[in-house]
Chains A and B, each alone.
Chain A
Amino acid sequence: MSHATTRAPFKARADAALADRTLKLAIDRTTGTAEAKRAAALSAFPEFEAARARGKAIKDHVIAHLDHYLEEFERNAIASGARVHWAADDAEARAIVTRICLEADARLVTRAKSMLGEEIGLPHALADAGIERVETDLAEHIIQLAGEAPSHIIWPAMHRTREQVADLFRTGHHPPPAAEDPASMVQSARRELRAKFLGADVGISGANFLVADTGATCTVTNEGNAELTTTPPRIHIVTAGIEKLVPSTAHAFALLRLLVRSATGGEMTQYTTFHCGPKRPGDADGPEEMHIVLVDNGRSRMLADEFRAMLRCIRCGACMNHCVVYRQIGGHAYGGTYPGPMGAVLTPVLDGLAAARDLPHACTMNGRCAEVCPVGIPLPTLLRAWRARSWREGREPGAVRAGLSLWARLATRPRLYRLASRIGVRGLRLFGRGGWIARLPLAGGWTAHRDLPRPEGRTFMEQYRAWQARKGAGR
Chain B
Amino acid sequence: MTARDRILNAVRAGLPTPRATPDAIAAEARALLDAPEARRPALAAPGLADSFCAKAAALGTTVARLPDLAALPEAVRGYLADHGLSATLALQPAPSLAVLDWSGIERHSAIAPDEPVALGLARWGIAESGSLVIHSGPDTPILLSFLPLHHIVVLHEDRLLPHLEDYAARTAGEAPPRNAILITGPSGTTDIEGSYVRGAHGPGFLHVILIAPEARPAD
Contacts and interface: CB of A to CB of B under 8 A. Distances in A.
Interface of A: 26, 29-30, 33-34, 44-45, 47, 50-51, 54, 57-58, 61, 64-68, 70-71, 80, 85-88, 92, 136-139, 142, 155-158, 160-162, 165, 182-183, 185-187, 189-190, 193-195, 197-198, 214-216, 222-225, 227-228, 231-232, 242, 247-251, 253-254, 256-257, 264, 267-280, 282-286, 294, 296, 300-301, 303-305, 308
Nearest to A273: B181
Nearest to B12: A67
A65 B181 contact: no
A296 B193 contact: no
Which 9 A-B residue pairs are closest in the complex by CB-CB distance? Answer: A224-B202, A304-B14, A300-B10, A284-B141, A223-B200, A250-B168, A139-B191, A303-B14, A253-B164
Interface of B: 2-4, 6-8, 10-15, 19-20, 22, 25-26, 28-29, 32-33, 38-41, 55, 59, 93, 113-114, 129, 131, 136-143, 145-147, 164-165, 167-169, 171-172, 176-195, 197, 199-203
Contacts of B169: 250
Contacts of B59: 270
**Most chain A CB atoms below 10 A, which of B25, B168, B201:** B201
Given A30-B190, A186-B192, 19 more contacts: A54-B32, A65-B20, A86-B3, A88-B10, A156-B191, A161-B193, A223-B200, A249-B171, A250-B172, A254-B40, A267-B129, A269-B184, A270-B59, A272-B184, A283-B136, A284-B137, A284-B141, A300-B7, A308-B14
B192 A138 contact: yes
A301 B11 CA distance: 8
A191 to B, nearest CB: 8
A337 B188 CA distance: 25
A29 to B, nearest CB: 5
A15 B13 CA distance: 42
Given A86-B4, A250-B169, A268-B182, A186 B197 contact: yes
Contacts of A57: 32
Contact of B41 (A44, A222, A279): A44
Contacts of A183: 197
A256 B167 CA distance: 14
A272 B147 CA distance: 17
A171 B189 CA distance: 22
Nearest to A139: B191
B113 A194 contact: yes
A229 B166 CA distance: 29
Nearest to A26: B193
Contacts of B55: 267
A283 B41 contact: no
A451 B143 CA distance: 63
A148 B181 CA distance: 31
B141 A285 contact: yes
Contacts of A264: 190
Contacts of B178: 275-280, 283, 286
Contact of A231 (B25, B146, B177): B146
**Most chain B CB atoms below 10 A, which of A160, A162, A264, A286:** A286
A198 B187 CA distance: 18
Contact of B146 (A224, A279, A284, A303): A224
B108 to A, nearest CB: 13
Contact of A270 (B2, B33, B142, B186): B186
Contacts of A216: 176, 180
B26 to A, nearest CB: 8
Contact of B193 (A54, A162, A247, A274): A162
B136 A286 contact: yes
A86 B2 contact: yes
Contacts of B3: 85-88, 92
A172 to B, nearest CB: 14
A284 B189 contact: no
A251 B29 contact: yes
B39 A50 contact: yes
Contacts of A249: 167-168, 171-172
